[in-house]
Structure 1
Amino acid sequence: MNSLMTAPGRLARRLLPFPRRARELLDTLPAFSVPADAIQGLPDPVAFRQTLLRLIGEATRRIVIVTLYLQDDDGGREVLEALYAARARQPDLQISVFVDWHRARRGLIGKQKSEGNAGMYRAYAARLGAGVNIYGVPVQNRELFGVLHLKGFVIDDTVLYSGASLNDVYLARHGRYRLDRYHVLRHRGLAEAMAAFVQQHLVGSEAVRPLNVADVPATRTLQPAIRDLRQDLQHAAYEVPRETPAPADVAVTPLLGFGRTDNTLNEVLLALLRETRERVILLTPYFNLPRPVRLMLGQLLRRGCTIDIMVGDKTASDFYIPPDQPFKTIGLLPYLYENNLRRFARAHRRQIDEGQLNLHLWRDGDNSYHLKGLFIDDDVAVLTGNNLNPRAWSLDLENGLLLRDPARLLHASHAAEWASLRRHAMRLSDYRSLESPRHYPAPVRKNLKRLNRTRLDRLLNRLL
């Protein structure tokens, strides 16, 4: 019924000339006016962990953490213990952690069956008592069809924004790291808006339940509530004023994205690309671009814009399995993504030869790459946990922060971040620079051939 009621509006938007819609959409976006010197990028996962723990230790009023998962390992326990210690020091401190419901209630892929991270949450609550509320958010009935992929840590009046989750590798424990992006924004209004959103739309939902209690309901009993939550989220948005940035300020707009249609984050991302004047830098961990993004990049190349895309080498994927280890089906994914990249590079080999299209492969030892986001021209940046793949585009609950900076106050910071990333990246000179599928491990070749024959590779690209 809801889709029928909104169909006329969707049809009308599709019939409008897209270029005009893009400009109008961007011109009418509300924003917080945030001083440029209140926005800081952090250089690496170690700085991210140190900053997170410091902010938790200094908190006096509230801590709101939204992430895909808080893992049962040394990194996750360090964060959880810091939260309980902060509560012990400040008994009035309000602490809420939101994680994906499905992800929290299962073990790691390929490992033995377990009660998942929720078991750790219950053990801590039983030992240390109440005060740290941990909620599971089921945005879909099954994990395969979508997860909580919102990002952001609101601590008092500070927003620590990153696409990282909380475990050993994201927090650079034990000698390995998974690289993401990390930004600190000190602004009371932005922090209030992000905290108010989860309070209104997540805590207020019957589908969102505590995970650190003894009796956790079965997912099947929550299905009507999950359906209501989905309907609410499809129309939800952050409450943002229309502030006019001062000369030393940056316009910051938090954006929400959920569902295949009327997805504000998707619409803004496409509008930003459509309005590009000269250059786009796109960061994604898995080269599996949604079709609208892929088509828009093609239009930009035809217009003469320069495009840089940085993606992790297949060995820098969190799904990569070295050939000397037992093969598991999940290990196909890095090879699927590399094949996507090969096809894209082959289709645009002329632009690569001319330097108009630059494809960068990131690799640093056995560490992994999880960066997301956009730089457009020299005055727009997008911080997001959105992987810029079909799953993020239509299934997961996503968000992002749009930074519009016409005075280019953050240009030096963005340029330094881009330069730092390129230190561990190699530019592809040709699609033949990628490993040939003929040289893939035998189990990979066998399974890829089967997927290609049945065309299931296209389905996997949409779901994983």
Structure 2
Amino acid sequence: MLYNIKKTYNNHFLYNKHNTFLTELPKITQKSSDFKILNSPKEFNYVLLNTISQAHKHICLVTLYLENDPGGKKILDTILEVKKNRPTIKINIIVDWYRAQRTRFGESIKYTNIHWYNNIIQNNPNIELSIFGLPIHFSEILGVLHLKGFIIDDTILYSGANLNNEYLHINDKYRYDRYYFIKNAQLSAIMLNYIEKNLINSKVIHNLDYKKSFLKKNNKNNIRLFRKFLKRTTYTYQNNANFNECSIIPLVGLGKNSILNKTIYHLISSVKQNMILCTPYFNIPYSLNRVLYSLLQQGKTVEIIVGDKTANDFYTPYQEYKSFKLINVLPYLYEINLRLFIQKLQNYIDNKQLIVRIWKKDHHGYHIKGIWIDDEWNLLTGSNLNPRSLKLDLENALLIHDPCHELIHQKYQELTQIRVFTKIITHYTSLQNISEYPVKIKRLILRIRKIKFDKLINQLL
């Protein structure tokens, strides 16, 4: 009896600690009438193009990549048309420097995105258009620009989506994400100020308007100093919302001790009844795994929605392999992670406390990330919630606080839409075992597990 009282007291104390952290975060007010969740990539593409075409003050697109394909070209063509009609509008596009220098995995085309950006600028000499490439580390594998949010005047279109055919659903295949349309002048100013002050004004950024930018290399020391700077830099703004009204908390960070990572930890730890977590790549860091176990032990409900291995953007059907690469193994490694996770927690699956859903729809992809806590908190982010995103990439998020349930209908509508093409896993044996994988995949996995190389892969990819 004494043990139970002590345990209850400790849980209550810890909850108050995490809730206090969330309470003290500075917040900005958000009108529910200016907040809309879009339900499909086609709708997102339409709204993005329409919002760009109506812009008057500024257009700032930050994305991992803007692809040289019909989807990406339509975005740039619309921006160029706006600039011709309204020459005073300010336009900045920032992409990851290393990602811009290569094509998609498995493609050998030598004409990369960086060549395309350069040609666009060279062919439009009378149009002032800034396209930047930003390195976050010495190599793409050690960290990328993974910020999300397209800032157009007083509107933010926030999604984990990048800009290409699949994310915008131009052809018959799409990659499913979350899509938020938010009107908020203060939020727009906060995000824009961070980008202009800390990214565009940095010493390491490449302006892609000169051919010599192909040869330009950043000094490693400058990049090292830039990473140190980003680790202690965050959005700066004044709190103007109370804890009992609808508000948004913009978060940004790099490294395991960032304000974003601390908020994710305290957010998950503050669960009263239930939480829902979405990630396309099941590779939950140990620190978050530990919290999930604790929640289950306290009798709380955890739902995880993850993509099937065939919905992974690294997945290639075995019969279509032109040349076998390590990247082809990643979807299988994520499935192995998930199978082991469920196996350890099978008893919580059995008593319905832990719900694991697998998303799969034909040949389409799944790219949804985020966390919902009770009916109060909603974390909208581009972070994959894996070791890489928590340590290596520059990430951001919008934490939406809805204590009066003004956005509850939209929340349920979004989650219902996500769950439509999911199936609930009732036993870990529902997922394939290594012995059932294609021969080349199985051999390589066994080899890398033997030398424990899979642990390094989980930290980097």
Q: Is contact 1:118–1:212 with CA below 8 Å preserved after alignment?
A: no
The correspondence for 1:318, drawn from 303, 309, 313, is: 313
- Once the two structures are aligned, what percentage of the paired residues are identical? 35
Structure 1: runs of 5 or more not aligned: 1-16
User: Equivalents in 1 of 2:250, 2:30: separation in Å?
Assistant: 12
2:8 aligned residue: none
Are 1:284 and 2:279 an aligned pair?
A: yes
Residue correspondence of structure 1 range 53-64 to structure 2 within 5 A? 53-64=49-60
Q: Is contact 1:26–1:271 with CA below 8 Å preserved after alignment?
A: yes
1:10 aligned residue: none
Are 1:111 and 2:126 an aligned pair?
A: no
User: Equivalents in 2 of 1:368, 1:152: separation in Å?
Assistant: 21
1:435-457 per-residue CA deviation (whole Å, 9 max, x = no partner) reads: 22211111100100001101000
2:130 aligned residue: 133
Residue correspondence of structure 1 range 1-20 to structure 2 within 5 A? none
Q: Is contact 2:23–2:243 with CA below 8 Å preserved after alignment?
A: no
1:122-153 per-residue CA deviation (whole Å, 9 max, x = no partner) reads: 11111122322111111111111000000000
The correspondence for 1:70, drawn from 59, 66, 73, is: 66
TM-superposed CA distance for 1:19, in Å, is 5.2
2:263 aligned residue: 268
1:189 aligned residue: 186
- Specify the SS of the correspondent of 1:82: helix
Are 1:454 and 2:445 an aligned pair?
A: no
1:307 aligned residue: 302
- Specify the SS of the correspondent of 2:263: helix
Residue correspondence of structure 1 range 379-458 to structure 2 within 5 A? 379-458=376-455
User: Equivalents in 1 of 2:460, 2:403: separation in Å?
Assistant: 37
Give TM-score, length-normalised by structure 1. 0.94
Are 1:330 and 2:324 an aligned pair?
A: no
User: Equivalents in 1 of 2:445, 2:306: separation in Å?
Assistant: 21
TM-superposed CA distance for 1:235, in Å, is 1.0
User: In the alignment, residue 197 of structure 1 is paired with which amino acid?
Assistant: Y
TM-superposed CA distance for 1:308, in Å, is 0.5
TM-superposed CA distance for 1:323, in Å, is 1.7
| Change beyond 3 A, Cα 1:219–1:451 | farther
Residue correspondence of structure 1 range 199-218 to structure 2 within 5 A? 199-216=196-213, 218=215
TM-superposed CA distance for 1:219, in Å, is 6.2
TM-superposed CA distance for 1:115, in Å, is 5.0
User: Equivalents in 1 of 2:289, 2:14: separation in Å?
Assistant: 16
Residue correspondence of structure 1 range 340-359 to structure 2 within 5 A? 340-359=337-356
User: Equivalents in 1 of 2:228, 2:214: separation in Å?
Assistant: 21
Q: Is contact 1:305–1:356 with CA below 8 Å preserved after alignment?
A: yes
Q: Is contact 1:205–1:225 with CA below 8 Å preserved after alignment?
A: no
The correspondence for 1:99, drawn from 95, 101, 115, is: 95
TM-superposed CA distance for 1:246, in Å, is 9.2
The correspondence for 1:296, drawn from 286, 291, 316, is: 291
User: Equivalents in 1 of 2:218, 2:304: separation in Å?
Assistant: 43
1:321-353 per-residue CA deviation (whole Å, 9 max, x = no partner) reads: 102111332110000000000000101111111
| Change beyond 3 A, Cα 1:245–1:37 | farther
Deviates more, 1:48-57 or 1:202-211: 202-211
Q: Is contact 2:204–2:218 with CA below 8 Å preserved after alignment?
A: no
User: Equivalents in 2 of 1:189, 1:172: separation in Å?
Assistant: 31
Q: Is contact 2:62–2:95 with CA below 8 Å preserved after alignment?
A: yes
Give TM-score, length-normalised by structure 2. 0.94
User: Equivalents in 1 of 2:400, 2:91: separation in Å?
Assistant: 28
1:407-436 per-residue CA deviation (whole Å, 9 max, x = no partner) reads: 011111111111111110000010011122
User: Equivalents in 1 of 2:196, 2:209: separation in Å?
Assistant: 18
- Specify the SS of the correspondent of 2:385: coil
User: Equivalents in 2 of 1:311, 1:69: separation in Å?
Assistant: 23
2:19 aligned residue: 23
User: Equivalents in 1 of 2:241, 2:192: separation in Å?
Assistant: 22
Q: Is contact 1:69–1:104 with CA below 8 Å preserved after alignment?
A: yes
CA RMSD across the alignment: 1.4
User: In the alignment, residue 50 of structure 2 is paired with which amino acid?
Assistant: R
User: In the alignment, residue 321 of structure 1 is paired with which amino acid?
Assistant: T
Q: Is contact 2:251–2:398 with CA below 8 Å preserved after alignment?
A: yes
1:372-405 per-residue CA deviation (whole Å, 9 max, x = no partner) reads: 0010000100000000000001000000000011
